[in-house]
Amino acid sequence: MRMNIAFAAAIISAAALLSGCTFDGTISNFAVNYGARTDAGYRLPAIPIAKVPAQYRRQIVRYQTDEQPGTIIIETGEKHLYLVTGNGRAVRYGIGVGREGFEWKGSARIALKREWPVWTPPAAMIKRRPDLAKWRGGMPGGPDNALGARAMYLFNKRGDSGYRIHGTPEWWSIGKAMSSGCIRLLNQDVIDLYDRAEVGAKVIVR
């Protein structure tokens, strides 16, 4: 009986591999896409992806929703961002979210997209961290910029929400609550999302 169970498990496992699916709903992953690269003249270092928990690596997963393809759904509790692609699937990215006191939920839309954006710390942040006053007029884009390689600017009915979906060189912060409310992704992931997401896309933060 044990042999039969083991044999059956092997058959099921092989079938899952052949179909490209795993039991956690993953259809495919992009673990090989985190190497060093040059982007717009800037050098992005490789991410030690083996140190990033598997659930926070970019992958295509099964995802049921009534939202239209192109919608971004952010599940802050599970630290995942889903880009709905339709047919019961989504591209899932690991994210870092707002720390205690900076969480938020609601709906917005992508109003602007920028490559290697300038980062201007808000006055409230400068008050908390006077060392950032030197960037009051804007920190130039680059590998050390707080917004990373890409930024998508979230607006709501009142205008600019002040929140961004952006990249970060701090790969160890993915899966944690460390930001001032913005949603951060690995730089290699935010470049991928930037290329897929459209201006005007609906963003739902839960």
What does the pLDDT look like over 88-142, one tens digit per residue? 999 999 999 987 656 679 999 999 999 999 988 778 888 888 888 888 888 889 9
CATH architecture of the region 2-205: Beta Barrel (2.40)
Q: What is the pLDDT of residue 3?
A: 42
- State yes or no: is 80 an active-site residue: no
Q: What is the pLDDT of residue 130?
A: 87
The residue with greater pLDDT, 4 or 65, is: 65
Q: Report how far apart, in Å, the C-alpha atoms of 50 and of each of 25, 31, 35 are.
A: 20, 9, 12
pLDDT band for 5, please (50, 70, 90 cuts). very low
Q: What is the pLDDT of residue 103?
A: 66
Model pLDDT for residues 158-205, shown as the tens digit of each residue: 999 989 999 999 999 999 998 767 999 999 999 999 999 999 999 999
Compute the Cα dihedral for 74, 49, 181, 176 and give only its sign.
Answer: positive
Q: What is the pLDDT of residue 183?
A: 96
Choice among 44, 74, 182, 190 that is catalytic: 182
Average per-residue pLDDT for the chain: 86
pTM comes to 0.83
Q: What is the pLDDT of residue 125?
A: 81
Domain limits, the chain: 2-205
For residues 183 and 188, give the distance between their C-alpha atoms in angstroms, rounded to a whole number. Answer: 15
Are 148 and 115 spatial neighbours (Cβ–Cβ below 8 Å)?
Answer: no
Q: What is the pLDDT of residue 149?
A: 98
Choice among 80, 109, 164, 166 that is catalytic: 166
Percent of the chain at pLDDT exceeding 90? 65
- State yes or no: is 166 an active-site residue: yes
